[in-house]
Chains A and B, each alone.
Chain A
Amino acid sequence: GQNIDQPTEMTATEGAIVQINCTYQTSGFNGLFWYQQHAGEAPTFLSYNVLDGLEEKGRFSSFLSRSKGYSYLLLKELQMKDSASYLCAVEDSNYQLIWGAGTKLIIKP
């Protein structure tokens, strides 16, 4: 079967760093996506990884290890506006996205 696991909820402090993990088992792998979703809004694209290693984009970085079926999203210098759900999704061999349930990130002052 296909499975993507992420923690349900995490709490962090404004200005700090937080790492959100994602592990996956899918039928094939064509890439891994991270999306951000604020409450009541649509998901928006954050990052894409297809090769092993770290992709950095401003305060956000995403890491992938294909051999371990593992990714993480690293958020630095946390701001209150980063309070949102973070969704991990894997593109399978049929080029469809398989989605994790999302990690709700709560930022405290």
Chain B
Amino acid sequence: IAGITQAPTSQILAAGRRMTLRCTQDMRHNAMYWYRQDLGLGLRLIHYSNTAGTTGKGEVPDGYSVSRANTDDFPLTLASAVPSQTSVYFCASSDRAESYNEQFFGPGTRLTVL
């Protein structure tokens, strides 16, 4: 693995179903993030984690949950998907010990909720 990977690449999901988007990084970054990107809007932060074992809510956390059991993995769960959660989801990571908070992005997951 080099950098950040996300799975699945894309998914079509029925409304009401539970779904977990996976994210793994091998850069030993302490901070990780989940964003959603919708046409005409900027990246919006869903949840973040500054270090393993801690998580925080971003701008649009409702309907989503995360966990950070270790440094490398940061899964995002939709407990009961709704059509408004149709979006492209990006996972990112950064080394908060660096002089500036450059974030590195995974390739994204394109999710469609019908």
Residues of A that sit less than 8 Å from B by CB: 4, 8, 30-31, 33, 41-45, 48, 50, 87, 89, 91, 95-102
Contacts and interface: CB of A to CB of B under 8 A. Distances in A.
Interface in B25-77: 40-45, 48, 58
Contact of B101 (A4, A97, A100): A97
Given A4-B42, A101-B40, 6 more contacts: A42-B107, A48-B100, A87-B42, A89-B42, A96-B48, A96-B58
B104 to A, nearest CB: 8
Contacts of B40: 8, 101
Closest 7 CB pairs of A and B: A99-B42, A42-B105, A99-B43, A101-B42, A48-B100, A45-B102, A100-B42
Contact of A43 (B41, B43, B96, B100): B43
Size category of the binding interface on chain B: 10 to 19
Contacts of B106: 42
A57 B114 CA distance: 44
B105 A43 contact: yes
Contacts of A87: 42-43
A97 B92 CA distance: 11
Contact of B100 (A44, A50, A99): A50
A95 B45 CA distance: 12
Contacts of A42: 90, 105-108
Contacts of A95: 96, 101
B100 to A, nearest CB: 5
10 contacts: A41-B107, A42-B90, A42-B107, A89-B43, A96-B45, A96-B58, A99-B44, A100-B42, A101-B41, A102-B42
Contacts of B96: 95
Contacts of A48: 100, 102
B103 interface: yes
B40 to A, nearest CB: 6
A102 to B, nearest CB: 7
Contacts of B101: 30-31, 91, 95, 97
Contacts of B102: 33, 45, 48
